[in-house]
Structure 1
Amino acid sequence: MDRPSRPARVLASALATGTLLVTAACADGTGSPEAAPASPAAEQSPASPSPASPSPSSPSPWPTRALTTGGAKAALITRADLGDGWNQVNNAASWRDKLLAGKVDVASFLNGKTGSQDCQKLLDSLYSDTLLGRPVGASALTGFTNGDARLLYQVGDYGKGSLEKSLDWMKSLAQTCGHFTVTGSGGGKRTVRVVSSALPAVGDGRQGLTLTVQGTADGAPVTLVLDVAAVRAGSSGIVVTNGGPSGVDHGATETAVRQGAQRLQQVLAGKTPSPTATG
């Protein structure tokens, strides 16, 4: 897997073998509303207390301060967060899976060009580590390996509005890009399936996807299974990509999301996370 340097990489070598009362009042001639007659039940019963007003929505637990360079680095998960079997690497910024690169076949879409553009954007953004767009402020990344699986973790300031749009777009992908084909630079065909996946209830918004990419590599059939998770915390975002040709450990994805969100919350509150974040 050769990849040029860039933040956040797709995981796994192999190929892209991979969710919208009005109370009517009758007015008299003076424009004053007429009182509606009381119902018999109301006349016979003591006045009931008026229903409680809905309680205001709880404020977000996420501070709105901007992420600093030091804060972004402190918000990165560690090997201790992931547990045994995972090893941190120094070359995650250079990861690039060429098998995620290719041209989406427009003919495989009932909705034609519009649908194919979303799927092309998905693959391109995974290949270039720009799933949430490019950071407008501080950012940092780190990577871990476990056998032939790779877990790439990114955190950055992307802007609240941009993050909300990105998550809304991601929620549509399981339907828009449920199943499509891709042609690689060498003419080889790959099939890609995209489904929504559950994530821990953290942050101000989140979306998970699992991609399964099937094709061939070096003449042999190969399947890449890749978890893709994104979380918004104020104007900061987290991206986790995790998987490989031997499958994906969904538990590791959930752990990275949960632990990373805790660390980011602490950083945005002006605190220093412990080596291993705890809930």
Structure 2
Amino acid sequence: MSRRPSRPVRLLASALAVGALLTAAACSDGGGGSEAAPDTAAARAAERDAAEQAPTGSPTGSASASPASLTESGAKAALLTEADLEGGWNQVQDADRWRDRLLVGEVDVSDFLTARTDATDCQELLDGLYRDSLLGEPSGPSALTGFEQGGSRLLEQVAGYDRAGLDARLRWMGTLPDTCDQFTATGSAGGTRTVQVTEASVPGTGDARQGLRVTVQGDAAGNPATLTLDIAAVRVGTSALTVTGGGLDGGQESSVEQAVRQGTERLKTVLDGGTPSPQPTPMD
């Protein structure tokens, strides 16, 4: 009694049959008459059978793997260094305690046509800038660093988030130039501040991004002052970096853009399992 061919042999025979059928179809004369149809159908059926039995351990196509989840050490490694920034920025150790009092105030509801709803968004903007939580509270690891240059500061946060919540916050940021535009906030001592919110460009890095410029006019130490902040947020997978730069000396648009480019490259390197270079990545 003859033995039944093993499964690998049957698969090979099926694949050879497909090749033979396709060769016969290619050599047939005419434009594919009724006699060629059964061969073509059989070839497709055999091809499907072979595909269904093929191993599935190796990925197919050109799609790349999703970035890995951020770890505590990875968040710290992804942070910018002095070498990543131009213009004499000096890294500081107390960036987690930075709090600008000009960002504190109760938003005046009467400034808004839709009153409470829009005022709540603008209050959330001020609170988020003051508490370094513009993208919401991270659901994963988080790390923060800061730099000083004269009277200006640059702050970067790298953190892991819930993907749906992160995308929602980025969309929310995009609505603020229209929702908030210009409004008044009243400080605890009764002083008023005029706040303006405009859209800002962000380098085309990462998977999604959003930028804002916020100016706050009020008093500092009894003197008129204007705080200007350039803000950029970039998502990479389920992680994100937020960069805020500026101060009483004006905005820091170019430094924020450079920080975003370098910071995104560092975050990508970490999520890909690598270690960021101590030297900044050359940018075009």
Q: TM-score range by the shorter chain?
A: 0.7 to 0.9
Q: Secondary structure at the match of 1:123?
A: helix
The 2-side partners of 1:220 and 1:87 are apart by 27
User: Structure 1 residue 245: deviation in Å?
Assistant: 0.5
Equivalent in 161, 166, 169 of residue 166 of structure 1: 169
Partner of 2:264: 261
Q: Does 1:187 align with 2:190?
A: yes
User: Structure 1 residue 222: deviation in Å?
Assistant: 0.4
The 1-side partners of 2:117 and 2:65 are apart by 35
Give matches, 1:47-86, under 5 Å.
Answer: 63-86=66-89
The 2-side partners of 1:277 and 1:71 are apart by 17
Q: Does 1:207 align with 2:210?
A: yes
Q: Does 1:249 align with 2:252?
A: yes
Partner of 2:230: 227
Q: Secondary structure at the match of 2:197?
A: strand
Partner of 1:118: 121
Amino acid paired to 1:193? Q
Q: Secondary structure at the match of 2:69?
A: coil
User: Structure 1 residue 84: deviation in Å?
Assistant: 3.3
User: Structure 1 residue 249: deviation in Å?
Assistant: 2.1
Partner of 1:7: none
Q: Deviations over 1:56-96 (max 9, x none)?
A: xx95x783311011111110011010123100000001111
Q: Secondary structure at the match of 2:188?
A: coil
Amino acid paired to 1:167? L
Partner of 1:217: 220
User: Structure 1 residue 136: deviation in Å?
Assistant: 1.1
The 2-side partners of 1:78 and 1:131 are apart by 22
Please say if residues 230 and 237 of structure 1, whose CA atoms lie closer than 8 Å, have aligned partners that are also in contact. Answer: yes
Name the TM-score, length of structure 1 as normaliser. 0.77
Name the TM-score, length of structure 2 as normaliser. 0.76
User: Structure 1 residue 116: deviation in Å?
Assistant: 0.3
**C-alpha root-mean-square deviation of aligned residues, in Å?**
1.3
Give matches, 1:21-170, under 5 Å.
Answer: 63-170=66-173
Identity of aligned residues (%): 55
Residue ranges of structure 2 left out of the alignment (5+ in a row): 1-61
The 1-side partners of 2:181 and 2:236 are apart by 27
Amino acid paired to 1:251? S
**Runs in 1 of length 4+ with deviation above 3 angstroms?**
none
Please say if residues 63 and 268 of structure 1, whose CA atoms lie closer than 8 Å, have aligned partners that are also in contact. Answer: no
Q: Secondary structure at the match of 1:162?
A: helix
Q: Secondary structure at the match of 1:190?
A: strand
Residue ranges of structure 1 left out of the alignment (5+ in a row): 1-57
The 2-side partners of 1:82 and 1:264 are apart by 16
Amino acid paired to 1:276? Q
Compare the two structures and name the one with the higher helix fraction: 2
User: Structure 1 residue 268: deviation in Å?
Assistant: 0.5
Amino acid paired to 2:128? S
Q: Secondary structure at the match of 1:215?
A: strand
Partner of 1:237: 240
Please say if residues 203 and 231 of structure 1, whose CA atoms lie closer than 8 Å, have aligned partners that are also in contact. Answer: yes
Q: Flag the 1:246–1:272 CA change in 2: closer, same or farther, 3 A.
A: same
Q: Deviations over 1:84-133 (max 9, x none)?
A: 31000000011111220110000011111111000000001111111111
Q: Which has the larger radius of gyration?
A: 2
Partner of 2:24: none
Q: Secondary structure at the match of 2:256?
A: helix
Please say if residues 195 and 214 of structure 2, whose CA atoms lie closer than 8 Å, have aligned partners that are also in contact. Answer: yes
Partner of 1:45: none
Q: Deviations over 1:198-248 (max 9, x none)?
A: 010001100000001101112211001101111111100111111010101
Amino acid paired to 2:232? A
Q: Secondary structure at the match of 1:222?
A: strand
